[in-house]
Amino acid sequence: MEVKRFGVSLENELLVELDRLVGKKQFPNRSQAIRYLIKKFSVEDEWEEDKNVAGAIVLVYDHHKRELQTKSTDIQHNYHDLILSVQHVHLDHHNCLETIAVKGKASKLKSLADKLIAIKGVKHGELVMTSQM
């Protein structure tokens, strides 16, 4: 991949923010931080444009909650074309972590995640999406 060099002019306050980002994210330099910001913006555009994206739905739930596993499985079967894999981990006697790898239209992934996160007994859930590059 060819790299192009160019100059950037920023107000002092923005430069301070860029340097703060470099430190916070531990980027090796400002260029890497700028690459990160451009890619982040580009990926978010893909979500908004309802393009095909990949991602993961992460759920933490109480496995003792009645019917939770059945409801989750039913929902996942309704979206089987989006689900690549599911990993289930026992965190302790009561809590489980489930990671669901997904790929498809951003709006469909959001819909699937919203349905799973809304199940009674889910303590926390989040959808992370990225472009398919």
Q: How many residues does the chain have?
A: 133
Task: Please give the pLDDT value at position 15.
Answer: 95
Q: Which of 72, 83, 125 is nearest to 108 (CA)?
A: 83
- Average pLDDT, whole number, for the chain? 94
What the block records as the tokens of 15 is 């430069």
Alpha helices in 10-90 (DSSP H): 12-25, 30-48, 68-78
**Weakest mean pLDDT among 1-10, 23-32, 81-90, 116-125:** 1-10
**pLDDT above 70 for 133:** no
Instruction: Specify the pTM.
Output: 0.80
Q: Which residues contact 42 (CB under 8 A, 6 or more apart)?
A: 131
**pLDDT above 70 for 45:** yes
CATH architecture observed for domain 52-131? 2-Layer Sandwich (3.30)
Domain boundaries, the chain: 12-48, 52-131
**pLDDT above 80 for 132:** no
What is the mean predicted confidence (pLDDT) over 73-102? Answer: 97
Q: Could you give the CA distance from residue 47 to residue 35 in angstroms, rounded to a whole number?
A: 19
